[in-house]
Amino acid sequence: MSSTWHILGAGSLGSLWACRLARAGKAVRLILRDEQRLADYQATGTLTLVEGEQRSHYAIPAETARGAGPIHRLLVACKAYDAAPAVARLAPRLSAGAELVLLQNGLGSQDEVAEQAPHARCIFASSTEGAFRESDWQVRFAGQGFNWLGDPANPAPPPWFDDLQEAGIPAEWRLDILSRLWRKLALNCAINPLTVLHDCQNGGLLGHLPEVDALCAELTVLLQRCGQPGAAENLQEDVQRVILATAANYSSMYQDVRQRRRSEIHYLLGHALRTAARHGLVLPQLEHLHQRLVDNLTARGLPGT
Ligand code: NAD
Ligand code: KPL
């Protein structure tokens, strides 16, 4: 089986992973959105990774979904709302037993992707690394972090897992990946929407702690009810710890909204509320937060889903 890493989405995280894998000598191919993006990339010919003052250039081959040849290993590095449609376009090229690594934040997109690729193995990832695009085809590695990977359907790590260490991508294989993704989702639900509504850095929420605590209380009930008691433990303390540790940062949702990009609300707060509804739970604080956020996004002319 080919050991090529196909990278779907050459945005911030996709480029960060592609450059590090290429630097370690792994075979990497980018899959770009359309012929226009491919022509743009080919005019430049390289991806640039910026780390501090250092700039490294990698001539990684690229194609579109219409390229030829089977795909055995695919890193899905699109936003959560783009992941399933992007994988659907590639479905005819996925080999039997193909492995997909899903980098999306939040929950819900992983199941949407699995529906489009029923014969593939879907490996879920939760990342705290930070990267952003300085310009087209140039990504800055902005925050050291970590990656947890796991497969809720199969405890065995994939045979290529050591590629990550060889590429300097910090990663651990976890049997409790769903718990990690739920915990991150809960942190994001307690922090990110409020930073948009109060127009503040994460640290600005120290002035709104009763509101944060009320959300944490409902998120704790939800996590316990939906079979994720581990993700519920000490949530309120952890949220306050993250607010303090990231006080000077703007949340990812704040940045999306500021840059007039669609947010991933559907896979964060939206997923929390859909799960609550399935369990017959009424969570008034979270529902009110969701409504305020949708109103806020709509008033800015941004999608509320
Ligand atoms: P991004 O917007 O920078 O990159 C996504 C890329 O996917 C874009 O280049 C877009 O053109 C491309 N894309 C969309 N549809 C496509 C298609 N059909 N075919 C090919 N390419 C397609 O997003 P990002 O910041 O890298 O985030 C990706 C995911 O990782 C998100 O769910 C995000 O929440 C999560 N995440 C990001 C960071 C970070 O620091 N950037 C950190 C942790 C988690
Ligand atoms: O993950 C985050 C984000 O901004 O998306 C933190 C920093 C934890 C805030 O929720």
Domains of the chain as residue ranges with CATH: 5-175 (3.40.50.720), 179-299 (1.10.1040.10)
How close is the Cα of 145 to the center of ligand 2, in Å? 12
Distance CA 283, CA 161 (A): 40
Distance CA 205, CA 162 (A): 40
Cβ within 8 Å of residue 280, ≥6 positions away: none
In three-state secondary structure terms, 24 is coil
- Written as one letter, the residue type at 96 is A
Residues with CB under 6 A from ligand 2: 187-188, 191-192, 202, 242, 246, 251-252
CB 20 less than 6 A from any atom of ligand 1: no
The string over 16-50, giving b where at least 16 C-beta atoms fall within 10 Å of a residue's C-beta and e elsewhere, is bbbbbbbeeebebbbbbbeeebbeebeeeeebbbb
226 close to 180: Cβ distance less than 8 angstroms:
no
pTM summary value: 0.97
248 close to 201: Cβ distance less than 8 angstroms:
yes
- Written as one letter, the residue type at 214 is A
From first to last of the 305 residues of the chain, give the pLDDT tens digit.
679 999 999 999 999 999 999 999 999 999 999 999 999 999 999 999 999 999 999 999 999 999 999 999 999 999 999 999 999 999 999 999 999 999 999 999 999 999 999 999 999 999 999 999 999 999 999 999 999 999 999 999 999 999 999 999 999 999 999 999 999 999 999 999 999 999 999 999 999 999 999 999 999 999 999 999 999 999 999 999 999 999 999 999 999 999 999 999 999 999 999 999 999 999 999 999 999 999 999 999 999 99
| Residue of 40, 79, 267 best suited for mutating to test ligand 1, as the one with most atoms within 8 Å of CB | 79
Q: Which of 186, 176, 191 is nearest to 220 (CA)?
A: 186
How close is the Cα of 83 to the center of ligand 1, in Å? 9
Which ligand is in closest contact with the Cα of 244?
2
What are the percentages of helix, strand and coil residues in the chain, rounded to 5?
Answer: 50, 20, 30
The string over 215-225, giving b where at least 16 C-beta atoms fall within 10 Å of a residue's C-beta and e elsewhere, is bbebbbbbbeb
184 a catalytic residue: yes
| Residue of 6, 7, 8, 12 best suited for mutating to test ligand 1, as the one with most atoms within 8 Å of CB | 12
Distance CA 257, CA 294 (A): 12
Residue 59, both tokens = 């001539």
In three-state secondary structure terms, 4 is coil
CB 90 less than 6 A from any atom of ligand 1: no
